[in-house]
Chains A and B, each alone.
Chain A
């Protein structure tokens, strides 16, 4: 594996902080109602500080992906404002989008492109010049152990390889804010641990990370701040310990179970009723 915490490989990301903004993502009373009538977000307000590793947790349909889509232009909020490093992310979005890298929940690679082309075109969409793109592509392929796959079309790759390409693509333009929407869903243990190392390294290098996941141990290990979202509303926010205290339990998992009203599933109860 190229990337471990003790790797000597070049930095994955060189996010250059700009002075004057210490908020990476700011959502102010954001709401989203789909044409079907579903109200996916209800006046969501959230702040993610620059350099944070921020976890957004919640059950399926809670509004996690919708908030991400509204922040990256894949959905239009029906109300409120979203700023990324102080720039409007909804209407005059050019500066905001340049600062964001998105690794979506579902693999959405272009079947017609090879691995190297996928990264190269993405860099082009973000205005990177040819020479810079070439260097960055080589660097990322090496870092993600994809060099020998560079000429393969993305549709021929295994699920794990596709996941790596998606993450490499999100990092291609050196975003200051990396959004990872359930990046480890359905991947094997080895790749999950590798991905953890990738993103920890990227965060250490200065990139702010917004992570959604269903794996609570993942959030607990990686994130310095966590928010619970449920029914389109942010219901609690803080560190793992603060959230546990808020719900009067001893772990993040129990806090989550309290949030979704399933306290009876807590591992603390295992064996309690056994004879």
Chain B
């Protein structure tokens, strides 16, 4: 392995070992939360709701819950990790190393991405044991989840770098991220909403993400699949390029 790859592996490994060391909080708690959603919306409410778009309600919500787990954990992990390292100034050890901006950005991104992926995969495996969860278009499910995970991991990096206190991260998560996800059709179909909420939902980017993931699992989508893929890929790329510029200039990282 060349020194560059050794460096990248070490930077990424630091991020992974951070969340593994506190796995009760970073993996256990989000898993429990996801299963509580499945229990409440599947077992408790699901029997009353019956079917939605031709599938059992519990099956209908699981793709969205997998997306939500990946998105929130990727975001939270990266924002918290970067802010903590900024507070401790331990990030200076990485910043004064020979690592380039791309290596630093990718390593910090992958920490949250891999944590979100771990929780999502475990959720998928457990859900598959509990209910008959179809995977109609595996490629669409995998690609859309990877893009969503990468997008929110990037968003976490951006917020973590910009944040000056933990309130900044909490604010973004509580007042921006969670409303977008909860109103993005994770628990319901937008077609059930009255106007103007149905139209407003179409301005929520998470709605398209949820629809893509649901298309991958259930084979049905409320949106134009190729166009949504393209928009999601473009948004992820734009965010990545913005972050790369931040790491290259050292904005809020280097004095």
Interface residues of A, Cβ cutoff 8 Å to B: 34, 66, 69, 72-76, 93-95, 97-98, 100, 102, 104, 106, 108-113, 117, 121-129, 169
Assuming the A-B contacts A97-B98, A125-B99, are A112 and B92 also in contact, with contact meaning beta carbons closer than 8 angstroms in the complex?
A: no
Assuming the A-B contacts A124-B10, A124-B13, A169-B93, are A75 and B88 also in contact, with contact meaning beta carbons closer than 8 angstroms in the complex?
A: no
Assuming the A-B contacts A104-B89, A109-B88, A112-B17, are A73 and B6 also in contact, with contact meaning beta carbons closer than 8 angstroms in the complex?
A: no
Q: Please, which residues of chain B bring their CB within 8 A of the CB of A117?
A: 17
- A129→B254 contact, CB < 8 A: no
Query: Which of A34, A66, A73, A117 is most buried by chain B, counting CB atoms within 10 A of its CB?
Result: A73
- 30 residue pairs of the A-B complex, CB under 8 angstroms, read A73-B95, A73-B254, A76-B249, A76-B250, A94-B98, A94-B100, A95-B98, A97-B97, A97-B98, A100-B96, A102-B92, A109-B90, A110-B88, A110-B93, A111-B90, A112-B17, A112-B22, A113-B14, A121-B93, A124-B11, A125-B7, A125-B11, A125-B94, A126-B3, A126-B7, A126-B97, A128-B3, A128-B6, A129-B1, A129-B6
Query: Which of B6, B11, B85 is most buried by chain A, counting CB atoms within 10 A of its CB?
Result: B6
Closest A residue, CB atoms, query B107: A125
Interface residues of B in 62-117 (CB under 8 A from A): 84-85, 88-90, 92-100
The smallest beta-carbon distance between A207 and chain B, in angstroms, is 17
B203 is an interface residue with CB less than 8 A from chain A? no
Interface residues of B in 198-252 (CB under 8 A from A): 249-250
Q: Please, which residues of chain A bring their CB within 8 A of the CB of B94?
A: 125
- A97→B4 contact, CB < 8 A: no
Q: Please, which residues of chain B bring their CB within 8 A of the CB of A95?
A: 98
The smallest beta-carbon distance between B12 and chain A, in angstroms, is 10
CA distance A169 to B6 in the complex (A): 17
Beyond A73-B95, A95-B98, A127-B4: 9 further Cβ-contacts under 8 Å?
A76-B249, A104-B89, A108-B89, A108-B92, A109-B88, A110-B90, A124-B13, A125-B98, A127-B98
B9 is an interface residue with CB less than 8 A from chain A? yes
CA distance A125 to B93 in the complex (A): 8
From A98, A102, A124, B9 is in contact (CB under 8 Å) with A124
Q: Please, which residues of chain B bring their CB within 8 A of the CB of A112?
A: 17-18, 21-22
Closest A residue, CB atoms, query B4: A127
- A121→B96 contact, CB < 8 A: no
- B90→A121 contact, CB < 8 A: no
Interface residues of B, Cβ cutoff 8 Å to A: 1-4, 6-7, 9-11, 13-14, 17-18, 21-22, 84-85, 88-90, 92-100, 249-250, 254-255
The smallest beta-carbon distance between B80 and chain A, in angstroms, is 11
Q: Please, which residues of chain B bring their CB within 8 A of the CB of A169?
A: 93
Leading 7 A-B pairs by shortest Cβ distance: A124-B10, A127-B3, A125-B97, A108-B89, A75-B255, A110-B90, A97-B98
The smallest beta-carbon distance between A182 and chain B, in angstroms, is 14
CA distance A93 to B248 in the complex (A): 12
CA distance A239 to B162 in the complex (A): 45
Closest A residue, CB atoms, query B249: A76
CA distance A221 to B113 in the complex (A): 51
Assuming the A-B contacts A126-B98, A127-B7, are A74 and B1 also in contact, with contact meaning beta carbons closer than 8 angstroms in the complex?
A: no
The smallest beta-carbon distance between A36 and chain B, in angstroms, is 10
CA distance A127 to B2 in the complex (A): 8
The smallest beta-carbon distance between A242 and chain B, in angstroms, is 32
The smallest beta-carbon distance between A3 and chain B, in angstroms, is 23
CA distance A117 to B88 in the complex (A): 17
Closest A residue, CB atoms, query B85: A110
